[in-house]
Amino acid sequence: MVKWDAEVVVTTTRLLLRTYRPEDLPEFAALNADPAVYQTLSGAPLSRQHSDEIAEWGQECYETERLGLLAVERRVDGAFIGMCGLHHQESFPDEVEVAWRLAHAYWGHGFATEAAAGWLSYGFDELQLADVISTTDRDNARSLAVMRRLGMVFDHEAVIVDDGQTFDAVVYRITAEQWRTAGYTRTD
């Protein structure tokens, strides 16, 4: 049985990266149904049921592997702003991917970069990962910018499957050594 306990995994300057709680699910569903969010992603807006299934899957991944696409909460006011985390992308099951999806209202404030940086620090420091990838559509300028701000570099192009959708993508990568050399840290 999945626990919905809001366990904090990572704390950054402005964010708590944590497991979901039941109160997050309607806001997560609204984010996943927002057409503005899907202008930058392949696929179509998600149903409430599908959104809840993604959250449950994230919780299960965290319980079993200490990975997962989990909740992002703004510390100043407790607002649920989206999801971010580490997971095994289905087209690259032997790799760990950092991924994010934030509600449109929270774009342009550096939250995606901060959340992803927190997860990368966790992955390299706590999980001792050798490297981490990130994937996106070729035309997703916002996610590409986040990847570059994180110090990730282009690795290759690929056709990937994500949640049943097939699309042309670019894959970026960062190694633990590159991450440490860049000097990113996870701080309160």
Instruction: Looking at the chain, list the stretches that DSSP marks H as alpha helix, in order from N- to C-terminal side.
Output: 24-33, 35-38, 48-65, 111-125, 141-149, 176-182
pLDDT of 120-167, one tens digit each?
Answer: 999 999 999 999 999 998 889 999 999 999 999 999 999 988 777 788
Please report the pLDDT score of residue 150 as a whole number. 96
Q: Where are the domains of the chain?
A: 8-182
Query: Which residues is 19 bridged to in the sheet?
Result: none
Among 113-117, 161-165, 170-174, the range scoring the smallest mean pLDDT is 161-165
Are the C-beta atoms of residues 62 and 17 closer than 8 Å to each other?
no
Residues 6+ apart with CB under 8 A from 65: none
pLDDT of 66-77, one tens digit each?
Answer: 999 999 999 999
The Cα 41–Cα 51 span in angstroms is 15
Name the CATH superfamily, with its identifier, for domain 8-182.
Answer: Gcn5-related N-acetyltransferase (GNAT) (3.40.630.30)
The Cα 142–Cα 139 span in angstroms is 9
The Cα 24–Cα 45 span in angstroms is 18
Instruction: Please report which confidence band the pLDDT of residue 50 belongs to, taking 50, 70 and 90 as the band edges.
Output: very high
